[in-house]
Amino acid sequence: VHDETAGGSYEELRASFTAAVSHDLRTPLARVLALLETALLPGTDPRQLVEQAREEVEQISELVDDVLFLSELETGREVVSLGSTRVEPIVRDVAEQLGERAERADVALTFQVEEGLELPLRPRMLRMVVENLVENAVRYAGPRASFALTAGHENGTVVISAVDDGAGVPDEELLRLFERFYRGDRVRASRGTGLGLAIVKHVVNAAGGSVEALRSSGGGLEVRCVFPS
Ligand SMILES: Nc1ncnc2c1ncn2[C@@H]1O[C@H](COP(=O)(O)OP(=O)(O)OP(=O)(O)O)[C@@H](O)[C@H]1O
Ligand SMILES: [Mg+2]
């Protein structure tokens, strides 16, 4: 399934975007407010409440960062496509960073990067792509699933492929995964904003590449990022 940007007016898109961000900000903000009010009551342990409030604020900052990053991307190609970055060190870093979470989720991760491979992206952007793909597998593939990230030349292009054999998504959802704020029916109860793959798409597009999501041969999800070589 190839990704095709949906039609609709820019104003409509902007309005729904703003509404969704406001909604996602309001929930943690309300929790912070409740925690602060509780801390003022006599006989409560403010330290624990402050710690909880700090976590909520961190979540808010992450969302704001993602939104700012996305709008930065949308204003210009040069923000992203400057420079060239070796893929292997970044993948190794992300693998280390997410290894523990993957173990807890019982998802086996493997990584295979062509030696010396570079991509026309700044390090932060490349990291963003790899992180999002691995994190999604850890979150959604389900226990006993395997995930493999491979990067290398394929038929005159450079491909980053993220494949798992986990829960996957129904075929009719595949087209929508790259939309901002889109989350699958099955995962709505879990934390997440639905921005990860939208960001992946923008970064890859900005580097002149394209993205697609398909059912993997193992019945899970495959996300492919294809760059001109
Ligand atoms: N490996 C996967 N297996 C099954 N479903 C997936 C996988 N990766 C993504 N999805 C589905 O695609 C949706 C969109 O993913 P995306 O990364 O854009 O958002 P998110 O993970 O929900 O939130 P965020 O990344 O902003 O924290 C997910 O909510 C999930 O339904
Ligand atoms: Mg995600």
Probe ligand 1: pick from 181, 183, 185, max atoms within 8 Å of CB? 183
Ligand 1 midpoint to CA 47 (Å): 34
Ligand in closest contact with the CA of 198: 1
Name the least confident of 69-73, 149-153, 206-210: 69-73
Ligand in closest contact with the CA of 182: 1
- The residues, any chain, with a CB within 8 Å of residue 122's CB and separated by 6 or more, are 80, 82, 83, 85
Is the CB of residue 177 below 6 angstroms from any atom belonging to ligand 1?
Answer: yes
Is the CB of residue 182 below 6 angstroms from any atom belonging to ligand 1?
Answer: yes
pLDDT at 7 over 50: no
Is the CB of residue 165 below 6 angstroms from any atom belonging to ligand 1?
Answer: no
Confidence of residue 13 (pLDDT cuts 50, 70, 90): low
Over residues 109-154, the pLDDT tens digits come to 999 999 999 998 888 789 999 999 999 999 999 999 999 999 999 9
Confidence of residue 3 (pLDDT cuts 50, 70, 90): very low
Is the CB of residue 196 below 6 angstroms from any atom belonging to ligand 1?
Answer: yes
Confidence of residue 219 (pLDDT cuts 50, 70, 90): very high
Q: Which atom of ligand 1 is nearest to the CA of 190?
A: 22
Residue whose CA is at the smallest distance from ligand 1 atom 30: 184
Q: What pLDDT, on the 0 to 100 scale, is given for residue 202? A: 87
Q: Concatenated DSSP letters for 98-122?
A: HHHHHHHHTEEEEEEE-TT-EESS-
CA distance 126 to 138: 19
Is the CB of residue 146 below 6 angstroms from any atom belonging to ligand 1?
Answer: no
Q: What is the pTM of this model?
A: 0.78
Over residues 173-190, the pLDDT tens digits come to 998 999 988 999 888 888
Q: Which atom of ligand 1 is nearest to the CA of 136?
A: 8
Q: Which atom of ligand 1 is nearest to the CA of 191?
A: 27
Residue whose CA is at the smallest distance from ligand 1 atom 1: 137
Q: What pLDDT, on the 0 to 100 scale, is given for residue 25? A: 85
Q: Are 222 and 161 in contact, with CB atoms under 8 Å apart?
A: yes
Q: What pLDDT, on the 0 to 100 scale, is given for residue 174? A: 94
Ligand 1 midpoint to CA 46 (Å): 35
Ligand 1 midpoint to CA 130 (Å): 13
Q: Are 145 and 166 in contact, with CB atoms under 8 Å apart?
A: yes
